[in-house]
Structure 1
Amino acid sequence: MKRIFIFLPLLLLLPVLALGQDRFNEVGAVYGAIRSMTPEAYKEAHDKYGIRWIEAWTGNLTGGTEEQYDAWIERFNTAMKGSGLKLWSVHLPFTRKAPNDLSDDRTEWREATLKNWIEILDRATRIGKFRVVVMHPSSEAQISDEERPRRLENLRQMLLRFIPLVKERYGAVVAVEDLPRGCLGNSSADFDWLVANVPDFKICYDTNHLLGEESHAFAARFAPYIVSIHVSDYDGVDERHWMPGRGIVEWPKVIDVLIRSGYDGPFMYEVTPRNDPRGSVEYMRSTTDSLFARYALYQSIE
């Protein structure tokens, strides 16, 4: 009898979680989590493992030749066709080897970044209608306290151009991702400033990037601005991109924040087998169900 009492609230709460937020309980994955970019693998991800959405990495659409771009686009489209998967977002590159940083102190580098990203997004329109454009606020860098305000101002000026351009040209939203280590966007302080100074500012909340504060606390602070998420776990020492449950993220609190804020994007995993042996689509639906069940139990005893 006691066991029924414990789990009855869970069963009653689970249908409520989906009301009005259908996509949040749908599973998405970065395309590298699917074992190969083939029609068979993509259809299996959808039909057998319950993946519904995909985020495409656009590093394949820069630094090459038109023939290489055409070949990758054809492969991606062939894999997607008939799979049932839908394109949610595209992730812009952030390597320092090429112009990929809107916060850089060099004016010519910022302008080249803007040009490069628009060319990439123009090519990305050939793989489908994307809703969200995920970008890093800086390339990998150890940005000092002294230079941080200047770098934030550089980013602000470029976002004032980039955000409306993406909205007008592609009908998509720019989502700036929180980052770890010494990068720009590695704290709530950076995002407080950006939210206050950039109109239409939106966030891609990466659950495993906050090293100086609790992940769920960041989510609670900026919940109204979160339009996409990257789901993975970590140890708090550095980003790990582990499957949820292996690290320190307090998932019931994260889910609670997102549900209460009305987040309506997919539960998008940014985990691959390279980071975690279980970081593949085979485990994502079952892991999501487990996390939402934990959340329902958490709600029942709050």
Structure 2
Amino acid sequence: MTRIPFTRDDAALQGYVSGTGLPLLYQHGLGGAEAQVAETVPDHPGVRRLTLECRGHGASRPGTRRPFSIGLFAEDALAFCDAEGVGDLVVGGTSMGAAIALRIAVRHPGRVRGLILARPAWLFAAAPETLRPYVEAAAAMRAAAPAAAKAAFAASPTGRRLAAEAPDNYASLIGFFDAPDLAALADILADIAGDGPGVDRQEAAALAVPTLVIGHGEDLVHPLATAEALAATIPGARLARIPSKQSARPAHVAAFRAAVADFLAPLT
């Protein structure tokens, strides 16, 4: 894995490139980083995987451009690919990364050779209700000092419901309160949770590239129904239903990796 610093306007971003062969741009989820991608999309023979940590994620600085948006993150990622001399590519991502990938596939259809949408959190509308916990977490971060904000969110009805019904979602959200720059993170969470991929159903239905959609149950933020709806909308898309992270993480990771490997094999 090669770390490649990348600057766009005043944002100092961190990119990663590994392997050689078919370019695969794969983006992480909201609050995630390259390590999230490496766990489920490790190196594959004949594949050159590129990941750009989005503004305010991982080692990437937030910069001053506002608001944060899926469109901005998509533009950054494509600019990174351009800087690395990548033309046609497979594009994919997990959660927020899936929304980024869908936007790129629709906006740049002649450039995309394949599409991977894993654990999608958005369908087509902005601000889905399933992402409301991120907005509430952002509000808590803005209202109090870090320790008090974390305690307030944990004690809130949303925090208690997630802890009881979706411990994996809860662990991700409560972990955000330990970030070093809560002000920037609050902006990111609120802006992105209130945004959408900027793609409508008709545009998705017009896609003509091999597509893999990965989904699972036991997840309030990434409902299996969203993955099923996307797979039903995109012509020829294959839906891989895998074990949930919450109840079977090792099986989840293994099935995730296998689904991606099977999808990429005929494209390389």
Range of TM-score over shorter length: 0.3 to 0.5
Q: Which has the larger Rg?
A: 1
